[in-house]
Structure 1
Amino acid sequence: MFTFLFTVTVLLLCAAGLVEGSEVTQTPTILWGLKDSDAQMNCSHTKGAAYYQMYWYRQRPGEGMKQVVFTSSYSKPDYGAFGEDKYPTVKTDAESGSFTVKKVEAGDSGMYFCAVSEHSDTDDKHSCTKKPQS
């Protein structure tokens, strides 16, 4: 009788972007995680302390982009339909934050990225991920 041990490695891609011409830096840009390990991404920007809101997004292969969490250095994170246990965040200052994928599994593969903003144009922090109503 043979026993095989399989290790699943999950690729989590991170994208960095620009906000009004100022750089948003995300590290690492490619993140590998062994099954059941934790994978942490960091985000920082040079827009200044007025840009204290941070959004973390996920896009799985073949799916649309979804907002996972909205964070602010002045309030608790808002996870919407996602869970804090799976995606804990840290946001102690206006210009940086971190996002963790706990206990990585194959379904976590995809593109993850952060975005920052100075203020929200709407009271609904999830409006950019919802479809307009007819």
Structure 2
Amino acid sequence: LISQWPQNVLSHPSSSVEMHCYQNDTDFINMYWYIQMNNQGLVLITMYVKGNNPTYEEDFKSGYKVSSSETKKRSLTVEIVKPEDSALYLCAASEHSDTGVKYQHRRLLPASKPSV
């Protein structure tokens, strides 16, 4: 189970916002932050593997920062909020990562309606 807070954030442009993610019942070595804009698919912002520095996807290499005060917690900071940062932010964790697989979840497309 993952806890993520705050549930909602109101912010002024040019301020910073910090969101938190905590693994309640697990201690998985991989933690991820995703963004979902305008009901589109999930886009990976950053991945953290325990013992390493976080890696950021190309579009998020500046303006975003991941930090931690403990092993099971990761915080995401949007350093200078812009109107286009308004979105749903999601955190995830996994026990395993395979370099051949991890990039498959970079951009998850929304489900399409089956055609008849």
SS of residue in 1 equivalent to 2:58? coil
- What's 1:70 paired with? 47
**Does the Cα contact within 8 Å between 2:6 and 2:20 map onto a contact in 1?**
yes
CA RMSD of aligned residues (A): 1.8
Higher share of residues assigned helix: 2
- What's 2:4 paired with? 26
**Does the Cα contact within 8 Å between 2:32 and 2:92 map onto a contact in 1?**
yes
Indicate the structure (1 or 2) with the bigger Cα radius of gyration: 1
Q: Which runs of 5+ in 1 are unaligned?
A: 1-22
TM-score, scaled to structure 2? 0.82
Give a deviation string over 1:45-91, Cα, whole Å, max 9, x none: 12333x02110000111422100000123101111213343110013
Could you tell me which amino acid in structure 1 is paired with residue 51 of structure 2?
Y
Find 1:101's aligned residue among 78, 85, 94.
Answer: 78
Find 2:18's aligned residue among 33, 40, 45.
Answer: 40
Structure 2 distance, partners of 1:130, 1:103, is 24
The number of residue pairs the alignment matches comes to 107
- What's 2:112 paired with? none
1:54 equivalenced with 2:31 (yes/no): yes
1:81 equivalenced with 2:55 (yes/no): no
Could you tell me which amino acid in structure 1 is paired with residue 62 of structure 2?
D
Q: Which runs of 5+ in 2 are unaligned?
A: 109-116
Q: Which runs of at least 4 in structure 1 moved beyond 6 Å after TM superposition?
A: none
TM-score, scaled to structure 1? 0.72
**Does the Cα contact within 8 Å between 1:69 and 1:82 map onto a contact in 2?**
no
Could you tell me which amino acid in structure 1 is paired with residue 11 of structure 2?
G
Give a deviation string over 1:5-25, Cα, whole Å, max 9, x none: xxxxxxxxxxxxxxxxxx200
